């Protein structure tokens, strides 16, 4: 698994009723950032914005609806018995070149993904859809329209993993392979433009928008500039500066949640963050709402657990654990033996050898290009904690250095982010020894809950177990979840009525829009 990457879920954005922008008619011009993509390869995406393009060209067996629940797409039905899951394809499915979609195409696509994911060569690229290997052991075709999966995890989360694009068996290693989505690429000039037109063989009602032209820019600032000068109708951006754009008389700024979960990680194997009291004190002292609004300019969606607030999976009955409360924080530190014995402003206490030790720790922070908000957040945390007896040393590092420190457990505190996937399962970061558990958090109760989750095959039982996991998370305070980062679609043309337009699917719903 890629460092700092994981498996979970994506986002929910409620679109406002559009009175400001005009409805899209037959065409839309969109500004995106792209400097790496030179070929249309949906199973090997290189750039975030291109994922939204692939979403219009390629369908999966399942899709995620507006309520962030899986529903059938190319599959018309599914069933399961034990560790065998069976998917039945719709009748009259065709790729964009007119060839029928068969179970053999699904099998070939899955095996291609698994072969890449299971490549044991040193430094091998495991592929964007590598998490499929954690669900699927093998796959086979039963007649022309039935696909049978033998799985190692037979649970509801499997349905979220079935959203990968299906390609023709013969075209898996070709550029611009035929797809099953509402659009096809009519022309592509890498680094310049890509034009989509309707797929004549799409399995649903043909879209009204007959042309989507993507104009590519090397840098994020170029995308914003093209929108400002009306060279494009819409623009995708994750720049914090885009918060200045508000919906007006002829334009909309539509916020969407990304899959980037920002966290303050706390090392359970290092002193003093190995103490639950110290971790909880930090949680009670930091005003995450201030960070969200004043430092990130509101370009975030708050969450106190690894799951997305406002969705069916989020337990919103845990507020008492996460409210800012300096008195509780100081009481926890006092109970842990911390006090300022020499009036230097820094708490101390005797260690096991009777020597006085300070409440001091390093805070590691790494930055993204053209974005200093994480460092600003680190400075806020330092200033806040030092008002209450902590001594914080900020250490700025590169991304690679941060990965090294986290993997080795050589840190006290670290501001970092997880790139979350669609499946609502946080076991990767909460089970001891798992790849994303950088904090060295150990809890037999949490491990049991995460394992229990992976046995739940019905949505209601799955939801109940997710609630219990979040309750345990709140009690144990393994680390601090702050928010999911947001992005913005700036647009002069309303192109969707979907309630849930999310990262990697930023034009979701354009295929169904009717003026």
Bridge partners, 236 (sequence order): 489
Query: Residues near 29 by Cβ (< 8 Å), separated by ≥ 6?
Result: 212, 213, 215, 231, 232, 233, 234
Fold of 258-486: Dipeptide-binding Protein; domain 3 (3.10.105)
pTM of the model: 0.91
- Phi, psi (rounded to 5 degrees) for 263: -140, 155
Domain layout of the chain by residue ranges: 59-176, 258-486
Give every residue of the chain whose pLDDT is below 50, as ranges. Answer: 1-19
pLDDT at 498: 87
Q: Which pLDDT belongs to residue 20?
A: 62
Q: Do the Cβ atoms of 182 and 485 come closer than 8 Å? A: no
Residue by residue, DSSP assigns 251-314 as: -EEEEEEEEEEEEEEE-TTSTTTTSHHHHHHHHHH--HHHIIIIISTT-EEE-SSSS-TTSTT-
Question: 59-176 maps to which CATH number?
Answer: 3.90.76.10
pLDDT at 246: 67
- Listed residue (198, 200, 235) closest to 56, CA to CA: 198
Give the span between the Cα atoms of 233 and 214, in whole angstroms.
10
- State the DSSP code for 239: -
Q: What does the pLDDT look like over 68-101, one tens digit per residue? A: 999 999 999 999 999 999 999 999 999 999 999 9
Q: Percent helix, strand and coil across the chain, each rounded to 5?
A: 30, 25, 45
DSSP assignment letter at 94: B
Instruction: Convert the pLDDT of each residue in 446-461 to its tens digit.
Output: 999 999 999 999 999 9
Dump the DSSP string for 168-204: -GGGTTSSS---SSSEEEEEEETTTEEEEEE-TT-SS
User: Which H or E element spans position 150?
Assistant: strand 146-151
Q: What is the CA 439 to chain-centroid distance, rounded?
A: 20
């Amino acid at each position: 698994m890629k460092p700092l990457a994981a498996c979970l879920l994506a986002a929910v954005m409620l679109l406002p009723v559009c009175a400001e922008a005009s409805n899209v008619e037959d065409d839309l011009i969109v500004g995106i950032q792209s400097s790496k993509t030179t070929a249309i390869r949906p199973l090997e995406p290189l750039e975030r914005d291109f994922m939204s393009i692939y979403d219009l060209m390629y369908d999966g067996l399942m899709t995620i609806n507006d309520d962030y629940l899986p529903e059938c797409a190319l599959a018309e039905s599914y069933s399961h018995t034990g560790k065998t899951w069976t998917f039945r394809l719709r009748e009259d499915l065709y790729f964009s070149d007119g060839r029928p979609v068969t179970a053999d195409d699904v099998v070939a696509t899955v095996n291609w993904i698994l072969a890449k994911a299971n490549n044991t060569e040193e430094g091998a690229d495991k592929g964007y859809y590598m998490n499929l290997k954690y669900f699927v052991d093998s796959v086979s075709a039963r007649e022309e329209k039935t696909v049978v999966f033998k799985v190692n995890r037979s649970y509801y989360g499997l349905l979220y993993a079935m959203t990968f694009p299906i390609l023709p068996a013969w075209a898996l290693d070709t550029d611009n392979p035929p797809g099953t989505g509402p659009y096809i690429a009519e022309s592509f000039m890498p680094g310049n433009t890509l034009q989509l037109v309707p797929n004549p063989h799409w399995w649903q009602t043909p879209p009204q928008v007959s042309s989507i032209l993507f104009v590519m820019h090397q840098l994020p600032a170029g995308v914003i500039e093209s929108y400002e000068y009306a060279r494009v109708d819409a623009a995708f951006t994750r720049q914090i500066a885009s918060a200045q754009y508000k919906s007006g008389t002829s334009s909309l700024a539509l916020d969407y949640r990304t899959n980037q979960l920002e966290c303050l990680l706390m090392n359970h194997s290092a002193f003093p963050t190995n103490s639950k009291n110290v971790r909880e004190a930090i949680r009670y002292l930091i005003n995450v709402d201030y960070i969200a609004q004043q430092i990130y300019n509101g370009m975030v969606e708050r969450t106190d657990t690894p799951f997305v607030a406002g969705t069916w999976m989020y337990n919103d009955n845990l507020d008492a654990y996460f409210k800012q409360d300096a008195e509780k924080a100081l009481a926890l530190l006092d109970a842990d033996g911390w006090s300022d014995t020499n009036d230097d402003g820094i708490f101390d206490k005797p260690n096991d050898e009777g020597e006085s030790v300070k409440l001091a720790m390093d805070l590691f922070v790494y930055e993204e290009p053209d974005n200093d908000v994480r460092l600003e957040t680190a400075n806020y945390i330092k200033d806040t904690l030092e008002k209450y007896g902590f001594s914080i040393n900020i250490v700025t590092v590169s991304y690679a250095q941060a990965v090294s420190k986290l993997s080795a457990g050589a840190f006290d505190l670290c501001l970092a982010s997880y790139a979350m996937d669609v499946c609502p399962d946080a076991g990767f970061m909460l089970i001891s020894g798992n790849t994303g558990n950088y904090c060295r958090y150990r809890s037999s109760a949490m491990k049991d809950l995460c394992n229990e989750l992976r046995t739940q095959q019905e949505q209601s039982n799955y939801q109940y177990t997710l609630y219990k996991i979040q309750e345990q998370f709140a009690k144990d305070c393994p680390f601090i979840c702050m928010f999911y980062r947001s992005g913005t679609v700036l647009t002069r043309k309303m192109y969707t009525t979907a309630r849930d337009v999310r990262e990697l699917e930023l034009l979701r719903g354009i295929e169904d829009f009717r003026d």
